[in-house]
Amino acid sequence: MKTKNLFIGVPLTLLLFAGMVACKDTRLEYRKYTANVPQYMSYDDMRMPVKSKAANAIQSAGKIYIQGNYLFVNEKFKGIHVFDNSNPAAPVNLSFIDIPGNVDLAVSDHYLYADNYVDLVVIDISNISSPFEIARVKDIFPYTIPGTTEPYPIANIDEKKGVITGWQVSQVTEEINENRGMPFFFYDKGTGNFTRTESNSLGSPSVTQTVGIGGSMARFIINGNQFYGLNQSDMQVINIDQPFRPLTGAKIQMSRVVETVFIDNNYLFVGTQTGMLIYDVSNPATPVYKSEYNHLQSCDPVVVKDKLAYVTLRAGNRCGNWQNLLEVVDLHNIMAPSLLKGYPMTEPYGLGIDGKTLFVCDGPAGLKIYDASDPLLIDQHQLKQYTDLNALDVIPFGNVLIMIAQDGIYQYSYSDPENIRLLSKIKIGGK
C-alpha cells in the first residue's frame, strides 16, 4: 500500500507543479508608453514600377549627380529631380522620378541605377521625358529605418509588414518581453561618386560622358561593367554588363562602418568612420584589398588626385571624434598611405578637386576654395570663401562647380580661379 500511495502521489505533485507553471506563464505583463510607431508601405506597393511625374520644387535635397547635360538631384526617400543643365546659368527643371526610399543613384550610358528601399532598380532614361523601369534586384540592401524627430523610443518593428516610411507618435501597449531588444539604430544610406571625364569648356562637356559624376558623399560607384554599393559594413558588387539583367556578384565584408566611395584610376577609396580603405579594382569584378589609412572615429568623405587623397574629418554626435580637419594623405606608396598635413576646419562635409583647385564644403563656415598646388601650404592659398551659406557637397566638372547647400543648389564658373562667379541657384524649399 505504501508503494501504491507513493506511485499515485508523484504524478499528482507533478501535475500540481505544472499547473503552477502554466498559471505563471499565462500571467502576462504589459507596459504602456509613448513611442514613435512605424508607418509601413507594403512590399507590393514599394515594388510598383517607378514613375515619372511633372517637375516640382525641391523641398529637401539629398545628393547631386551630373551626367552630360543632365543634373540629377535626390530628394531623400522620395525620388530624383531631373534638370536640363546644358546651360548651367539657367538650369531647367524637367521632371521628377518617383522612387520611394531613394537615397543614392548612379548613371551609366542611358541607364539610371537607384535604391528603392531594399531593392536596386534599373531605369532606362534614353528618353529622359519618359523613363521606365527595366530591371530590379530584390533585397540587395539592408532593411533600414528613417530617422526620428521626436524624443520617444521606437515601438516594435515588424519587417514582414513592409518598409518603414515614417513615424507617428502615439500611445503603445505591448507585452513585456525581456528578450526583445529595442531597434535603436539608424542607417543613413547615402548618392554616387564616379569615374570622371575632364573638359575645359564652360557648360556641356566636349567629350562623351557615359558614367556620371556624383559628389564626395557617394555610396554608389560604377567601374566598367560593375556596380558597387556600400551597405553599412560591406560592399555589394553587381554585374551590369546587361542592364536589363543585373547579376549579383561578390559581397565584400569591410568590418567597419563604410560611408563614402571614390575611384581614381585602378584604385577604389572607401571612406569609413575609422579610416580610408584602398582596393585594387583593375579587375572590376573582384576588388582586392591593398591598404588602409586609419584615424579616430569621424565622418570622412575622400577625393583623390595625382596620388594625393584629400579627406575631411568631421566631429559630431554620429561621427564621433573631436576634431574638424582637412587632411592631405600621400598615396605615392599605395601600400603605406601617410599623412602629409592636416588643416583645421569648422564642420567639413563634402569636397572636390579639379587640377589644383580644391573645393571644401565647411558646413556653416561656407564654401572654401583653395589653390592646392603646394599640399603643405593649402591654408595660405585660399582663393575664395562664401560664408553666407551652409555648404554640404560639390561636383567640379567642366569648369563649373555644382554645390549643394541647405538652402539651394549653386553653380559657379571657375574657368578663372582668381575670378570665380555665381552662375545660378536652384532653391530648396521656400528658401
Give dist(CA 231, CA 190) in Å, integer.
10
Based on the domain organization, do 158 and 64 belong to the same domain?
Answer: no
pTM: 0.84
Residue recorded with cell 507618435: 169
- Name the residue range of residue 28's domain: 2-40+145-175
Do residue 23 and residue 97 come from a single domain? no
Distance from C-alpha of 326 to C-alpha of 348, rounded to nearest angstrom: 8
Return the CATH number at 309: 2.130.10.10
Domain end (from 153, 175, 197): 175
Task: List, as own/partner pairs, every contact residues 421-426 make where C-beta atoms lie below 8 angstroms and the sequence separation is at least 24, other chains included.
Answer: 423/88, 423/89, 424/88, 424/89, 424/90, 424/91, 426/58, 426/73, 426/83, 426/91, 426/93
Q: How far is CA 213 from CA 22, 73, 175, in A?
A: 64, 12, 50
The answer to whether 61 touches 71, Cβ cutoff 8 Å, is no
What is d(CA 249, CA 110) in angstroms, rounded to the nearest whole number?
Answer: 22
Residue with cell 602629409: 340
Residues contacting residue 104 through CB under 8 Å, at least 6 positions apart: 63, 74, 114, 115, 189, 190, 191, 192, 218, 219, 220, 229
Q: Give CA–CA dist 295/271, Å, rounded.
A: 11
Q: Does residue 35 share a domain with residue 48?
A: no
Residues 256 and 127 in one domain: yes
Residue 82 in any domain: the answer is yes
Give the integer Cα–Cα distance in Å for 180 and 241.
Answer: 44
Residues 215 and 283 in one domain: yes
Q: Which three cell numbers stand for residue 165?
A: 516610411
Q: Do 132 and 151 fall within a single domain? A: no
Q: What's phi and psi for 70, nearest 5 deg?
A: -110, 135
24-59 core/surface letters (b: 16 or more CB in 10 A; e: else): eeeeeeeeeeebbbbebbebeebbeebebeeeeebe
Contacts 24+ apart (CB under 8 A), 76-82: 76/102, 76/103, 77/101, 77/102, 77/103, 77/146, 77/165, 78/102, 79/50, 80/105, 80/112, 80/114, 81/55, 81/56, 82/55, 82/128
Could you tell me if residue 182 is inside a domain? no
Dist CA 115 CA 98 (whole Å): 12
Could you tell me the three cell numbers for 317?
554626435
Q: Closest Cα to residue 308, out of 334, 290, 284?
A: 334
For residues 91 and 82, is the Cβ–Cβ distance under 8 A? no
Closest CA to 257 of 235, 224, 227: 235
Give every residue of the chain whose pLDDT is below 50, as ranges: 1-24, 180-209
Indicate whether 274 belongs to any domain.
yes
Distance CA 162, CA 128 (A): 30
Tell me which of 154, 175, 196 is where a domain ends: 175
- CB burial of residue 182 (10 Å; 0-12, 13-18, 19+): exposed
Q: Are residues 294 and 353 in the same domain?
A: yes
411 within some domain: yes
Contact predicate 150/164, CB 8 Å? no
Q: Is residue 109 part of a domain?
A: yes
Same structural domain, 342 and 413: yes
Do 344 and 373 have their domain in common? yes
Is position 371 within any domain? yes
Q: Are 54 and 25 part of one and the same domain?
A: no
For residues 73 and 164, membership in a common domain is answered with: no
Helices of type H across 92-132: none
- In this prediction, residue 200 carries a pLDDT of 31
On whether residue 181 sits in a domain, the answer given is: no
106 vs 261: CA distance, rounded Å: 12
The C-alpha cell of 159 is what?
519587417
Tell me the backbone φ, ψ of residue 280, rounded to 5 degrees. Answer: -85, 120
Into how many domains does the chain fold? 2
Query: Does a structural domain hold residue 180?
Result: no
Burial class (CB in 10 A: 0-12, 13-18, 19+), 21: exposed
3-state SS assignment for residue 362: coil
Same-domain status, 350 and 421: yes
- pLDDT for 210 equals 55
